[in-house]
Amino acid sequence: MKRKMLDLNDNDNILESPQRRSFFKKSFGAAATAAAAATMVSPIAQAVASGGVAAPHPSVGDKTVLYVNGKVYQGGKYKQAWAEAFAIRGNVFTKVGTTKEILKLRTPETLVVDLRGHTVLPGLIDDHMHPEMAVECYNNVRVDELSTTWDEFKVLVKKELDEHPERPWVFGANLDYLWDDGSNIKMFGKPSHKKILDELIPDKPAYFWECSGHAALVNSKALEVCGITKDTPDPVGGHYVRDENGEPTGVLRELAAHIVWEKWLGTLPGPKELGEKQLKPIFSYLNSYGLTSVSEVWSREMYGQAYKYLDDNDDLSVRLTVYATDVVDFATPEMQKLADKYIMNHRDYDGKNVKIVGVKYILDGAAAGQTAVVVEPYEGTNYHGPWRNTPEQYREGLHKYDAMGLTVHAHCAGDGAARMVLDAVEELRKKPGNNADKLQHRVAHTSMIHPDDVQRFAKLNVHAEFSPVFWYDMAATRVIEQDIGKERVQKYMFPVKPIIDSGAPVSIGTDWMVTPVDPWAAIETIVTRRGCGIKEGPTMNAEEYAISLETALWLYTQAGADSQKRSHEIGSITQGKYADFVVLNQNIFEVPITDVHKTKVLSTVLGGRDVYLSSRVKEIIDLGELTGDYENKMTFASVGRNF
Ligand SMILES: [Zn+2]
């Protein structure tokens, strides 16, 4: 799996800017400033108690906030439903209607936000992503395999050593390709050998991923702390590259890389630091795209602790659904033990806004490169592709976890992997007392489906989660065509519309940070089946498989809510649901579909609370006296922004 750079610089969240803080000072007095500034970006208000009493909006006390003069797309099942305004009290929508209706709720105590005609959508839900991978790339030495020079690398390493003397390891990604014969790493013009790291990092273990995610370069200290010498045998499924004397060169492949990586994982900081310093910026970045709920689908135990810590402290800015990495994906006894503990005691990690709901398997590889398991062989070969986790491992897990009430999620790039899942669930359903209907075991990516299997998702109640990027025609499509042929590209890849029409449970998950997280690009391209902004030319079978903009939005909202088993709580702008919504700079229903990818989020609100406010919202107006004579003014007093 390719690891991509993450640029948090395009997160222009101004909620903690000095300007914002001074606004709070004026509005709420010095005593409230620290608390307000601290809570604005973070805590999630208490879940609505069964009696319907909502917790106070942290920025405005327990006042009702009225959002008026907007174009409010309520969402829900397929059909469009538009309103102009809504009221929020605590963390829920209390009324949705016309501006006139909502303004009737005004009292001297209510606050009013003038949306000035801007479009509002329900908060977006990304049902497959990897925030944990983002933490590891972002919070360590970030190297770009295409551009970082040796001199730049030296500076980055020095900076890491100076800034983080407390860290037991130096960890980073990504290096350009490494070579078994010691040839030069292209980006550095330096040999693929531990000695280049030893020169910079003699005293601490150091680990750098190769851009493929299938290999790594480590220094001598890392080999030493892991007890790897010339006498250490290669693990099954990997190897320590060695020189002519049998001495490990520091280049590690597959499971050998995993063994050392897992040793590093064991040194991650505790839940407080991991949560507050490393995860929160990632979630804030996600908020900047309008995301309010996400699924982390390859989770490790130490992150489970950090999610729980943040949630217990009302300090999560997304709702999280979590699938744990199965024990089979770890190479060391320490991590296998932790994975087992995480899965067996999963309820201990649940909170108000975090739910550990399942376990993840990775059945095959990627669409390009003949690493997907396919029903019919690759073009001109008898080859069907390699399994990663085997069908036997998957079936065993499916039966075991189904009985425990856990959903089994399976990465399937090829139609052969997806068919194996469908067959296994069909088999499971014959078992008395199985939970397959309730749990809706899942196929991740749904990138290639054999035509004979399209209707089986609905029939077996298997969830199809669609991942963007490969569902439109682009340069990589030509590479895939070489492997599976033009006909399979057009007929087998992302049959989104027929699967939705069949009534199968569905959702969208981007697979970030393997691929980009941007929901607006995903929404445009699932409708056009062409690249962003491209108006003509080939599509990936748009005639049969493209869906409407309404359906794309439904996939990103209500379908995601259904998938996360929160249908009644999130997914649409509906009275009684959590007030999760986004305000946009353009009405995506009015602009040409090929401009949808240009959409910018102005504000993201989670449970009634701002979690993202764009620097585009320049005008932060002063509330003044809350009981002042604003009722007759054309410009309504705002809780902090005026769109
Ligand atoms: Zn993934």
Q: Ligand 1 centroid vs 430 CA: distance in angstroms?
A: 29
Q: Is residue 299 part of a domain?
A: no
Q: Ligand 1 centroid vs 330 CA: distance in angstroms?
A: 16
Q: Ligand 1 centroid vs 464 CA: distance in angstroms?
A: 14
| Whether 40 and 140 share a structural domain | no
Is the pLDDT higher at 24 or at 127?
127
- pLDDT(475) > 70: yes
Q: Ligand 1 centroid vs 36 CA: distance in angstroms?
A: 36
Is the pLDDT higher at 111 or at 256?
256
Buried b / exposed e across 606-622, counting CB within 10 Å, b at 16+? bbbbbbbbbeebeebee
Mean pLDDT (the chain) is 85
pLDDT band at 261 (very low <50, low <70, confident <90, very high): very high
| Whether 13 and 75 share a structural domain | yes
CATH code of 110's domain: 2.30.40.10
Q: Is residue 279 part of a domain?
A: no
| Whether 106 and 149 share a structural domain | no
Lowest-pLDDT range of 366-370, 402-406, 425-429 = 366-370
| Whether 609 and 531 share a structural domain | no
Q: Ligand 1 centroid vs 299 CA: distance in angstroms?
A: 11
How high is the pLDDT of residue 25?
A: 32
pTM score, whole prediction: 0.86
Q: Ligand 1 centroid vs 415 CA: distance in angstroms?
A: 17
| Whether 386 and 470 share a structural domain | yes
Is the pLDDT higher at 116 or at 200?
200
Measured CA to CA, the distance from residue 357 to residue 303 in angstroms comes to 15
Q: Ligand 1 centroid vs 56 CA: distance in angstroms?
A: 36
How high is the pLDDT of residue 15?
A: 55
Which amino acid is residue 36, in one-letter code? A
Measured CA to CA, the distance from residue 342 to residue 167 in angstroms comes to 25
| Whether 93 and 154 share a structural domain | no
Measured CA to CA, the distance from residue 98 to residue 102 in angstroms comes to 6
Q: What is the pLDDT of residues 118-166, one digit of tens each?
A: 999 999 999 999 999 888 888 899 898 888 999 999 999 999 999 999 9
CATH code of 477's domain: 3.20.20.140
Burial of 373 (0-12, 13-18, 19+ CB in 10 A): buried
Q: Is residue 277 part of a domain?
A: no
CATH code of 169's domain: 3.10.310.70
Q: Can you tell me whether residue 175 is helix, strand or coil? A: strand
Give the C-alpha distances (Å, rounded to integers) separating 57 from 49, 163, 296, 445. Answer: 15, 37, 27, 37
| Whether 75 and 187 share a structural domain | no
Q: Ligand 1 centroid vs 410 CA: distance in angstroms?
A: 9
Q: Is residue 404 part of a domain?
A: no
How high is the pLDDT of residue 340?
A: 98
Q: Is residue 242 part of a domain?
A: yes
| Whether 426 and 375 share a structural domain | yes
| Whether 447 and 367 share a structural domain | yes
| Whether 119 and 145 share a structural domain | no
How high is the pLDDT of residue 55?
A: 32
- pLDDT(91) > 90: yes
Q: Ligand 1 centroid vs 316 CA: distance in angstroms?
A: 22
Pairing of strands 248-254, 238-242: antiparallel
Domain end marker among 265, 296, 317:
265
How high is the pLDDT of residue 437?
A: 98
pLDDT band at 35 (very low <50, low <70, confident <90, very high): very low
Domain end marker among 570, 603, 624:
570
How high is the pLDDT of residue 12?
A: 61
What number is the average pLDDT over the span 361-375? 86
Q: Is residue 340 part of a domain?
A: no
- pLDDT(607) > 50: yes
Which tokens in the block code for residue 568? 């009644």
Strand residues in 262-305 grouped as ranges (E): 291-299
The answer for residues whose C-beta is within 8 angstroms of residue 563's C-beta and 6 or more apart is 125, 127, 295, 440, 463, 465, 505, 506, 507
pLDDT band at 255 (very low <50, low <70, confident <90, very high): confident
| Whether 429 and 527 share a structural domain | yes
Q: Ligand 1 centroid vs 128 CA: distance in angstroms?
A: 6
pLDDT band at 495 (very low <50, low <70, confident <90, very high): very high
- pLDDT(642) > 50: no
pLDDT band at 474 (very low <50, low <70, confident <90, very high): confident
| Whether 141 and 98 share a structural domain | no
Q: Ligand 1 centroid vs 482 CA: distance in angstroms?
A: 24
As for how many domains the chain has, the answer is 3
Is the pLDDT higher at 474 or at 89?
89
Q: Is residue 214 part of a domain?
A: yes
Q: Ligand 1 centroid vs 400 CA: distance in angstroms?
A: 22
How high is the pLDDT of residue 635?
A: 29
Which tokens in the block code for residue 194? 């531990």
Range of the domain at 239: 131-265
Q: Ligand 1 centroid vs 296 CA: distance in angstroms?
A: 9
Q: Is residue 381 part of a domain?
A: yes
